[in-house]
Amino acid sequence: MATRNNTTTLQQEQTKDKQYPPRTRNVLSVQSHVVHGYVGNKAATFPLQFRGWNVDTVNTVEYSNHPGYGSFAGYKSSSDTITTIIEKGLLSGLEIAYDSILIGYMSNIETLTKVSTIIGSYCKKNKNVRWIIDPVLGDEGKLYVPSETVNEYKNILKHNNIFLTTPNQFEMELLTGVQIDSLETLRLSFKKFHELYPNVKNIVITSIEISETKETGTMLSACSITEEIETINCFTVPKINAKFNGSGDLFTALLMDSLIPNGINDTSVPNLAASLSKVLYLMDKILRKTYQLSVPSETSMQMEHNIINIKDLKLIESRDILALGNIDDHLPKSYLI
Ligand SMILES: Nc1ncnc2c1ncn2[C@@H]1O[C@H](COP(=O)(O)OP(=O)(O)O)[C@@H](O)[C@H]1O
Ligand SMILES: Cc1ncc(COP(=O)(O)O)c(C=O)c1O
CATH of the domain at 225: 3.40.1190.20
In a domain, 6, yes or no: no
Assess whether the C-beta atom of 249 lies below 6 angstroms from ligand 2: yes
Assembly ipTM: 0.93
Among 195, 205, 147, 198, residue whose Cα is nearest residue 171: 205
Residue 135: asked if its preceding bond is cis (omega within 30°), the reply is no
Q: Each residue of 39-91: pLDDT tens digit?
A: 999 999 999 999 999 999 999 999 999 999 999 999 999 999 999 999 999 99
Q: What is the pLDDT of residue 2?
A: 38
Q: What is the pLDDT of residue 328?
A: 84
In a domain, 109, yes or no: yes
Asked whether 25 and 260 are in contact (CB, 8 A), the reply is yes
Average pLDDT, the chain: 92
Rounded average pLDDT over 247-251: 98
At residue 20 the predicted structure's pLDDT band, cuts being 50, 70 and 90, is confident
Domain that includes residue 75, residue range:
24-336
Pairing relationship of beta strands 100-103 and 138-139 according to DSSP bridges: unpaired
In a domain, 16, yes or no: no
Q: What is the pLDDT of residue 266?
A: 58
Ligand 2: which of 60, 72, 105, 244 to mutate, most ligand atoms within 8 Å of CB? 105
Ligand 2: which of 30, 34, 39 to mutate, most ligand atoms within 8 Å of CB? 39
Q: What is the pLDDT of residue 100?
A: 98
Among 85, 95, 25, 24, residue whose Cα is nearest residue 60: 85
In a domain, 4, yes or no: no
Among 65, 56, 9, residue whose Cα is nearest residue 30: 56
- Nearest atom (ligand 1) to Cα of 221: 25
Q: What is the pLDDT of residue 14?
A: 47
Phi, psi of 37 (to 5 degrees): 100, -170
Cβ within 8 Å of residue 120, ≥6 positions away: 131, 156, 159, 160
Q: Cβ of 289: how many Cβ atoms within 10 Å?
A: 17
At residue 304 the predicted structure's pLDDT band, cuts being 50, 70 and 90, is low
Whether the pLDDT of residue 313 is over 90: the answer is yes
Atom 1 in ligand 1: residue holding the nearest Cα: 240
- Picking from 12-26, 51-65, 98-112, which range would have the lowest pLDDT averaged per residue? 12-26
Angle at 114 (CA atoms; ends 110, 118), nearest 5 degrees:
170
In a domain, 219, yes or no: yes
In a domain, 2, yes or no: no
Q: How far is CA 247 from the centre of its chain?
A: 9
Question: Which has more confidence, 214 or 223?
Answer: 223
How far, in Å, CA of 175 to CA of 151, rounded?
A: 8
Q: What is the SS3 assignment for 200?
A: strand
Q: What is the pLDDT of residue 41?
A: 98
In a domain, 330, yes or no: yes
What percent of the chain clears pLDDT 90, i.e. is strictly above it?
83
How far, in Å, CA of 15 to CA of 10, rounded?
A: 9
In a domain, 9, yes or no: no
Residue 19's alpha-carbon distances to 14, 23, 55, 318, in angstroms, are: 7, 7, 21, 27
> Helices 41-50 & 247-259, crossing angle to 10 degrees?
30
Q: What is the pLDDT of residue 234?
A: 97
Question: Which has more confidence, 117 or 265?
Answer: 117
Q: How many domains does the chain have?
A: 1
Q: Ligand 1 centre and the CA of 122: distance in Å?
A: 31
Residue 298's alpha-carbon distances to 124, 130, 284, 301, 322, in angstroms, are: 55, 46, 22, 5, 28
Verdict on whether the full-model pTM lies above 0.90:
yes
At residue 268 the predicted structure's pLDDT band, cuts being 50, 70 and 90, is low
* β-sheet bridge partners, residue 102: 29, 132
How far, in Å, CA of 200 to CA of 193, rounded?
A: 9
End-to-end Cα spacing for the chain: 55
Q: Kindly list the strands in the beta sheet with 228-238, ordered across the sheet, starting from the edge strand earlier in the chain.
A: 74-76, 53-63, 25-34, 100-103, 130-133, 162-165, 200-208, 218-225, 228-238, 335-336
At residue 269 the predicted structure's pLDDT band, cuts being 50, 70 and 90, is low
Burial class of residue 195 (count of CB atoms within 10 Å of its CB; 0-12, 13-18, 19+): exposed
Q: Ligand 1 centre and the CA of 279: distance in Å?
A: 11
At residue 111 the predicted structure's pLDDT band, cuts being 50, 70 and 90, is very high
> Helices 148-159 & 109-125, crossing angle to 10 degrees?
0
Whether the pLDDT of residue 5 is over 50: the answer is no
Element (H, E) at 207: strand 200-208
Q: What is the dihedral of CA 164, 258, 181, 68, to 10 degrees?
A: -90
At residue 325 the predicted structure's pLDDT band, cuts being 50, 70 and 90, is confident
Q: Each residue of 139-164: pLDDT tens digit?
A: 999 998 999 999 999 999 999 999 99
Site residues for ligand 1, CB cut-off 6 Å: 139, 168, 206-207, 221, 237, 239-240, 242, 244, 247-248, 251, 280, 283, 287
Q: What is the pLDDT of residue 302?
A: 66
- Picking from 26-30, 110-114, 291-295, 300-304, which range would have the lowest pLDDT averaged per residue? 300-304
How far, in Å, CA of 206 to CA of 134, rounded?
A: 10
